Amino acid sequence: MPSPGGGIAPRRVTSSEPITEVEKIVQPVGVKELIPGAKADIFNTALPAADADWLGSDIIPTNSPSYLRIYVCVSVAGVLRVARTISEVTVTEDLNSGSDLVANSAYMFTVPWRTGDSVNIRYSVTAGTIKRLLIEEIGGAA
């Protein structure tokens, strides 16, 4: 490229850097399988008051996001609810589409949660027995 004066303009030569380039290679390593984690269990215990928390304290996620697998069997019909608290605000979510669980029948529900959620379990009626409650945390999101 000619310079304004008519001669050949000097070509700037960049001095070589100590590091010439960065190579990047991506390889698959697989996703670590998460073993189910026990979160809560109750056996053969009288129901608390209607819509009172079943667990002494809310449970919180160990892995986020992940799922709660809830197994439950109650001696009397009623609506099972998840009480979810985020930033001190609690909402209730009726399981089984809001229909009563059949007395003495076993049910299993999968409920998603993530960091920031704290969860408890409630039931719409009292005067019965929680035959079994098992809550496990399963799987991270893919």
Partner 1 sequence: MTQESLEKLIQVQLENQPSIESDRFFVGDSDTVSAGTSLTLTFVLDPLYVVRLVEGYCDARDGLSYQWIINGLSVPLSEVKYYLGKVVHSDIKLIITNPTGTNQDVAYYIHGWGDQKGVS
Q: How far apart are CA 47 and CA 53, in angstroms?
A: 10
Which residues sit at the interface with partner 1, rule CB under 8 A? Answer: 15-32, 140-142
Chain length of the chain: 142
Tell the smallest beta-carbon distance from residue 14 to partner 1 (Å).
11
Tell me the closest approach of the beta carbon of residue 69 to partner 1, in angstroms.
Answer: 17
Q: Which is nearer to partner 1, 4 or 32 (CB)?
A: 32
Query: Which is closer to partner 1, CB of 55 or CB of 60?
Result: 60
The whole-angstrom separation of Cα 116 and Cα 106 is 29
Sign of CA dihedral 67, 79, 107, 75: positive
Q: Which two tokens stand for residue 109?
A: 């529900």
Give me the least distance between CB of 11 and partner 1, in Å please. 20
Residue in 91, 85, 137, 132 with CA at minimum distance from that of residue 111: 137
Residue 83's nearest CA partner among 71, 94, 92 is: 92
| Nearer Cβ to partner 1 (23/88) | 23
Q: How far is the CB of 34 from partner 1 (least distance, A)?
A: 8
Nearer to partner 1, 12 or 24 (CB): 24
d(CA 6, CA 30) in angstroms, rounded, equals 63
